[in-house]
Amino acid sequence: MEALDRKLLRDFIRLWPQFLAISLVLAAGVAVLLMSFGMSAALEDTRKTYYERNRFADIFVDARSVPISFVEIIRRIDGIEAVEARVTTFTTLDIPGKIDTTVAYVASLAPAGPVLNRPTLRRGQWPDPQSTGEVVLNAPFAEANDLWPGDRFTATLNGVKRDLTVVGWALSPEFIYTIGPGSLIPDDEDYGIVWMPERALAALLDRTGAFDNLAVKLRPSARPKPIIDMLDQLLEPYGSWGAIGRDEQTSNAFIDAEITQLRALAYILPPVFLGITIFLVNMVIGRIVALERAEIGLLKALGYSDIAILFHYLLLAGLVAVCGVALGYAVGSWLSYGLARLYADFLKFPYLIYTVSWNAYVVSGLLGLFAASAGAARAAWSAARLAPATAMSPTAPPRFRRNWIDVALRRMHVSQPTMMILRSLIRWPVRAAMSVLGLSLAVAILVSSNFFPDSLDLIIDTGFHQSNRQHVVLFFNDTMDESALEDAARLPGVLQVEGQQYLPVILRHEHRQKRAVIEARRPGNDLSRIVSAEGEIVDAPPGGIMLSERLAAQLGLAVGDMVEVEFLGNRKGAYDLPVTRLVTQYFGLGAYMDQETADRLFQQAPQVSVINVTVDPARNAAFQAALKELPRLGGRAMMVENRRGFEETISENILVSTMVYALLGILITVGVAYNGARIQLSERARELASLRILGFTRGEVAYILMGEIMLLALIAQPLGWWIGWAVAKLMTDSFTSDLYAIPMVLKVSTFSSASLIVLGAAMASVLVVRRRLDRIDLVSVMKTRE
């Protein structure tokens, strides 16, 4: 081993605390990068494999009733590989021992087995195609309700209660993310999927020789849009709700949103950690070069070349990078697999395919090495350019000249230790500015991550307490006359009822179009209300359509513009309607219409498809029992359970993410503050020792060292708040989808908690360095050369 190599190892061991702090910051960036890419890649690969193995369809169509002969006509369309027609319905279940009414989506099973969207059997067996009461349940629903093969329950099908027997459990790619009507998150206990033999279900629903649900698989070269248009035209006379592609299929759309969010993290957070690494390496290696000028001159005098000196300091930074990257690999791989496993369990994938591409490791490793090399490059280059004679002589002391700042400080009667702190910042403005930037990024990490709880509190308050104040939402398979409200009001325990009508449409403006659902309601509704972001309760103005701002932006619409509204299902027709108002909303792409306007368009008596009710909690059991007897009820949503489930799911995620981001913010703070304090101590050791000899106390001397770092931390707070706001804005924009939007809510408590964590971590770091100051040997320090 050559002399330079031995020196390299000795320097690395001697300065291990400082290098460890840098390695931890770098490791955090590498780990977040691997975690984000690893989780998103695992979910994407698992979904892709699951879809391929189980032949997930490319196009989906729902209609009222289509003759079965159309299947062969559709199969002959160019570009279509396979077609499967099903009979489906929403229904309510009566499970023995369960008080609440349960909602289920019932789908038929072809006698020869499904061709598309094939369920994977997890337990038991498939039902006999000739049976009239055997069914298979989706596994999460069956497990949540303790329904095992051989158990029985009752379902209301076409107004008649039928006894059904469970014979198996299954999972389907069509229902990875199972959300019931009116729900916001999956509820395995109250919403499930039931597969039933086609012959029996078609007979029960009076659809023998017909279908109402179609799945289409395309050839690899086919384009979905032309085929969707052809299917819409072909099935329009039969009450088609409009064909949709994979991107609009509910389960797939939610998974897409999750994967998009995970990928967004990889582009937002790692650059922060890599930037901090560049700064820290530059600061430490630069100080090492400054302290080793004499050694550099001696090495050059002994014949070491400029290239050898350059690579010596680059290799020192490289060792730091290797440690950080290795630690980041370990932590990132562990977190990536663990969180991917949690996601797979939450989404109920039958398996997890976890293979992080080697590209992710190569890219993250190269970025880590680049950050360390970029940080060390300037100092290493300056060391290589030093002439031996210049290097072996002491550096010239910096020039000092009084200016207006010194005059101002004298007039303010600032103490001598404080004057020394301020003069140090003025003397090294670039280094002070970089330290401020580093600490401000730590604040920014905490601000940009901790705004989520307040944002979700606003979503919950707006979505549940202000907008949806009903206890239960009743959904019906068909629209009914408004007189159905009187029947609902007579149910046991019902205190208040209101009706709505859901109208599926396609909105078109210029070359843009979007599928949506218009909610037609009467003005002044009290249970289901439209609440703007400002808290104003609004109603859709008569004679037009009111849109959410996100939907209007996607269509390029403003108030006063005309939009073509094509109604789907059993209400056909296209109308040009004015946009009467825009409203900010967080869930879905809302569109609203006055009920009288809808009745006038369709020339109909007032209709309802949804009834909102409030119920006396003391009579909930009687109310639920009555629901089980309603023949036309297609489903119900319990808003209280919805809110509780949403809050529990979100609170768990918020707790974990808050702890992780707090740790990341602390790592950045420790890396910047500890290294800054150590460098201050090494640079000013002789100066501080002189003060001790002159009679300054340990506390006064420590104040000079600690005060500078803490002053920089204080100065960093406003900049950190601003950067945190910008990053939070970027995150909310990245996370917004058709399904939901996250509002940016930044409270004073968010900024104050971020500042307290950073200031606390900075104080702890400089206290560690103060222990070294207290143990300093005054005699040996005074013998060192300036």
SS (H, E, C) 643-682: HHHHHHHHHHHHHHHHHHHHHHHHHHHHHHHHHHHHHHHH
| Spatial distance between the Cα atoms of 325 and 510, rounded to a whole number of angstroms | 51
Same domain assignment for residues 694 and 598? no
pLDDT of 395 reads 63
Last residue of a domain, one of 189, 206, 223: 206
Find all residues with CB under 8 Å of 763, minimum gap 6, and list them: 706, 710
Question: Which ranges of 269-357 does DSSP label H, i.e. alpha helix?
Answer: 270-291, 293-301, 306-347
Average pLDDT over residues 301-312: 83
Residue 287 lies in a domain: no
Same domain assignment for residues 596 and 500? yes
Lowest mean pLDDT among 96-110, 339-353, 727-741: 727-741
Q: Where are the beta strands (DSSP E) in 525-587?
A: 530-531, 537-538, 545-548, 562-567, 573-583
Residue 358 lies in a domain: no
Say if residue 423's pLDDT is above 80: no
Say if residue 606's pLDDT is above 60: yes
What Cα–Cα distance (Å) separates residue 271 from each residue in 33, 274, 279, 310?
A: 9, 5, 12, 26
Same domain assignment for residues 436 and 561? no
Residue 649 zone, left/alpha/beta (φ > 0; ψ -120 to 50; rest)? alpha
Same domain assignment for residues 685 and 747? yes
Same domain assignment for residues 160 and 103? yes
Residue 362 lies in a domain: no
- How high does pLDDT run on average in the chain? 83
Same domain assignment for residues 453 and 501? no
What Cα–Cα distance (Å) separates residue 656 from each residue in 136, 259, 646, 651, 662?
A: 36, 18, 16, 9, 10
What residues pair up with 197 in beta bridges, in sequence order?
Answer: 109
Find all residues with CB under 8 Å of 95, minimum gap 6, and list them: 102, 145, 147, 153
Strand, helix or coil for residue 610: strand
Same domain assignment for residues 499 and 585? yes
pLDDT of 171 reads 92
Residue 548 lies in a domain: yes
Angle at 366 between CA 363 and CA 368, to 5 degrees: 110
Average pLDDT over residues 572-587: 84
Domain residues for the domain of 502 are: 494-615
| Spatial distance between the Cα atoms of 422 and 715, rounded to a whole number of angstroms | 12
Determine contact, residues 40/340, Cβ cutoff 8 Å.
Answer: no
Q: 108 or 271, which is more confident? A: 108
Query: pTM of the entire structure?
Result: 0.76
Last residue of a domain, one of 206, 226, 261: 206
Determine contact, residues 204/281, Cβ cutoff 8 Å.
Answer: no
Lowest mean pLDDT among 291-300, 302-311, 493-502: 291-300
| Spatial distance between the Cα atoms of 741 and 734, rounded to a whole number of angstroms | 10
Same domain assignment for residues 592 and 665? no
| Spatial distance between the Cα atoms of 266 and 211, rounded to a whole number of angstroms | 45
Angle at 619 between CA 617 and CA 625, to 5 degrees: 120
What Cα–Cα distance (Å) separates residue 354 from each residue in 34, 213, 337?
A: 13, 34, 7
Q: 206 or 743, which is more confident? A: 206
**Helix (H), strand (E) at residue 528:** none
Average pLDDT over residues 732-746: 73
Number of domains in the chain: 3
Residue 94 lies in a domain: yes
| Spatial distance between the Cα atoms of 477 and 90, rounded to a whole number of angstroms | 7
pLDDT of 326 reads 92
Locate 519 and state its tokens.
């909610």
Specify the amino acid at residue 739: L
Last residue of a domain, one of 206, 232, 247: 206
Angle at 122 between CA 116 and CA 125, to 5 degrees: 85
- Give the single-character DSSP code of 468: B
Q: Where are the beta strands (DSSP E) in 158-209?
A: 160-171, 191-197
Same domain assignment for residues 609 and 509? yes
Say if residue 627's pLDDT is above 80: yes
Same domain assignment for residues 438 and 537? no
Residue 93 lies in a domain: yes
Average pLDDT over residues 104-122: 90
Say if residue 307's pLDDT is above 70: yes
Same domain assignment for residues 535 and 665? no
Say if residue 599's pLDDT is above 90: no
What residues pair up with 531 in beta bridges, in sequence order?
Answer: 537
Same domain assignment for residues 660 and 785? yes
Residue 515 lies in a domain: yes
pLDDT of 86 reads 93
**Helix (H), strand (E) at residue 623:** helix 620-627
Find all residues with CB under 8 Å of 437, minimum gap 6, and list them: 279, 716, 719
Determine contact, residues 599/526, Cβ cutoff 8 Å.
Answer: no
Find all residues with CB under 8 Å of 467, minimum gap 6, and list them: 528, 529, 530, 531
Strand, helix or coil for residue 89: strand
Residue 66 lies in a domain: no
**pLDDT interval class at 642 (50, 70, 90):** confident
Determine contact, residues 284/15, Cβ cutoff 8 Å.
Answer: yes
| Spatial distance between the Cα atoms of 327 and 323, rounded to a whole number of angstroms | 6
CATH for 567: 2.40.40
pLDDT of 173 reads 92
pLDDT of 607 reads 84
pLDDT digits (tens, 9 = 90+) for 609-626: 888 889 898 888 888 888
**pLDDT interval class at 82 (50, 70, 90):** very high
**Helix (H), strand (E) at residue 466:** none
Of 548, 538, 557, the closest CA to residue 517 belongs to 548
